[in-house]
Amino acid sequence: NAGVTQTPKFRVLKTGQSMTLLCAQDMNHEYMYWYRQDPGMGLRLIHYSVGEGTTAKGEVPDGYNVSRLKKQNFLLGLESAAPSQTSVYFCASSYGQQETQYFGPGTRLLVL
Amino acid sequence: AQTVTQSQPEMSVQEAETVTLSCTYDTSESDYYLFWYKQPPSRQMILVIRQEAYKQQNATENRFSVNFQKAAKSFSLKISDSQLGDAAMYFCAYRSQYLSRGSQGNLIFGKGTKLSVKP
């Protein structure tokens, strides 16, 4: 039981490049979330999903897209990376809306 | 909108001593959850303790306990017998109980408190 995993762990992008961050969970959780963590800002919600095939916007969704084609996977895409997207990205999942969220180890992204 | 405030950017404690981290929150809801997460240098977010607002009894997990004051909207974390491995960033977080009331089900985090443990 690996819990929540994220790939890659670290990535450097040039402005304008695109990439996809992958989150996978093996706990059969319905809910999945993408957060970003910036210095002095705590974590903020980017997008979330309440089940396979569903996604919704969070607090800071601009510049990101997501997909949940399979229940266990939640992908976060950057179509045209900007330096403002330099951050640490965390994925989390929970069985239900009232259940505890479990976090992945994070992906550190640097956009030059 | 709900907000979470951690007024102590940094705290320090001597090994084996007790330390209390403060957290206050603002909400108009009556049903919600509160959490403390620990983030060590590895960046992994680890759940320390969880409190349901409808429960009057303070949650405890081994050396970790909370002082939940619902009327004062205060949720402090007490770490007893501090250990070197307790050194980390600690985040207080809030979550609404009901998705249908406009909540996205996400956690709303404070900015964190960096705890150092001195040997």
The gap from C-alpha A108 to its chain's centroid, in whole angstroms, comes to: 11
Contact by Cβ (8 Å): B109, B47: no
| Beta-strand pair A73-78/A87-94 | unpaired
What confidence category does residue B103 fall into, taking pLDDT thresholds of 50, 70 and 90? low
Which of B49, B104, B114 should be substituted to probe chain A, the one whose Cβ sees the most A Cβ atoms within 10 Å?
B104
What confidence category does residue B99 fall into, taking pLDDT thresholds of 50, 70 and 90? low
Contact by Cβ (8 Å): B108, B4: yes
Residue B44 reports pLDDT greater than 90 = no
Identify residues of A whose CB sits under 8 angstroms from chain B CBs: 31, 33, 35, 40-45, 48, 50, 56, 58-59, 88, 90, 92, 94, 97-98, 100-103, 105-106, 108
Lowest mean pLDDT among B13-27, B50-64, B74-88: B50-64
Q: Look at residues B90, B88, B87, B84 and name the one whose alpha carbon lies nearest to residue B111.
A: B90
Mean of pLDDT values over A63-77: 97
Output phi, psi for A83, to 5 deg.
-55, -30
Contact by Cβ (8 Å): B43, A105: yes
Output phi, psi for B84, to 5 deg.
-60, -35
Residue B106 and residue A58: Cβ atoms within 8 Å? Answer: yes
Reported as half-sphere exposure (CB side, CA atoms, 13 A), residue A71 has a value of 8
Q: Look at residues A72, A103, A95 and name the one whose alpha carbon lies nearest to residue B37.
A: A103
Output phi, psi for B28, to 5 deg.
-105, 0
The pLDDT value recorded for residue B35 is 95
